Amino acid sequence: MKEQLIEELFDKYDFGQTQGLKSTFIEKVKLLKIDNCGQSRELLYNRGIFLIASGENMGFINNQHIILGNNQYVIIATAQPAECETLMCTKAMKGLYIELDLKRLQKMHSLIDKKPIGSLKTPKNVVTGNMNDEIDSAFVKLMKILLNFEESKVLGDNLLDEIYYRIIKTPTGEHLLQLCCQLTHFSRISNIIDEIQNHLDQEINIDDMAKKAKMHRANFHIKFKEIYDDSPIQYIKKIRLNKARQLIQFENMKIVDAASKVGYVSPAQFSREFKSHFGYPPSELKNR
């Protein structure tokens, strides 16, 4: 059922891209296709819920190895560089990407029973969960209404509420609840990362980040590493380099302009760090 529906959706929305995202009748919902057959490639994924309808993908998030298929979903709290490779070369991974809506999360947070904050463990930035019957049913209903403009506009909001609720009630649901609760380290650090995402061209000071998160520098480093498996400096460098690569490769921005856009004053330093991270210089992007 899911595989048939996702193919109908790709036809309906004329998904002609090799891979990526495409808008649907519901603003926060996009079609998703990842097709890196034969390649292992780091991509920058934005905050959202990924529901997989077909295909299978192997991913590496730092040292964490995950295999995703149509029995899993993924939650990403803030932007995350992840290395992935499509396992089934004749079948790209396809599904839906739902942009995380903090207002919707806060509404859910106000309506359901919650565990005491002190009992919550700081989660990772990326978590995966297994589909249950309730989530799977809501996913199928969402794909069905996306085939029709009127049904999407009338029923879409309630269906998104149901998907959020069904996921929140699973063991991985704490991930979402902590994201919208300002009392958690996870939420405070995630908010800082959101702010940085919009100001990559500006100087980023770790002490300022800790201060904005209302945390001591040492504790900020510890909690940051728990969430992202990287130090703040390592994480920011990855975000900057991945963002620059997207600007060069998909928006045809000049290398020097992309470097400046993400905060590099020296194009030479940018090229060195780009090659060190990805294994090839930015000048080769057009050939990939």
Considering 178, 212, 232, which residue would you say is the last residue of a domain? 178
User: Cα torsion at 109, 77, 217, 64 (round to 10°)?
Assistant: 130
Q: What is the pTM of this model?
A: 0.82
Same domain? 53 vs 130:
yes
120 three-class SS: coil
The 3-state DSSP class for residue 73 equals: strand
- What CATH number did the domain enclosing 130 receive? 2.60.120.810
- Tens of pLDDT along 158-214? 999 999 999 999 988 878 888 887 778 898 999 899 888 888 998 889 999 999 999
DSSP string, 183-208: TSHHHHHHHHHHHHHTTTTS---HHH
Pairing of strands 20-23, 29-34: antiparallel
DSSP β-bridge partners for residue 18: none
Q: What is the pLDDT of residues 49-100, one digit of tens each?
A: 999 999 877 666 555 666 677 888 988 888 777 655 444 444 688 999 999 9
- Look up tokens 């991945």; give the residue: 242
Beta bridge partners of 94: 33, 54
Strands 41-45 and 64-68, bridge-based pairing: unpaired
Judgement on whether residues 231 and 151 belong to the same structural domain of the protein: no
**CATH classification at residue 250:** 1.10.10.60
Q: 204 and 132, same structural domain?
A: no
| Residue finishing a domain among 178, 207, 239 | 178
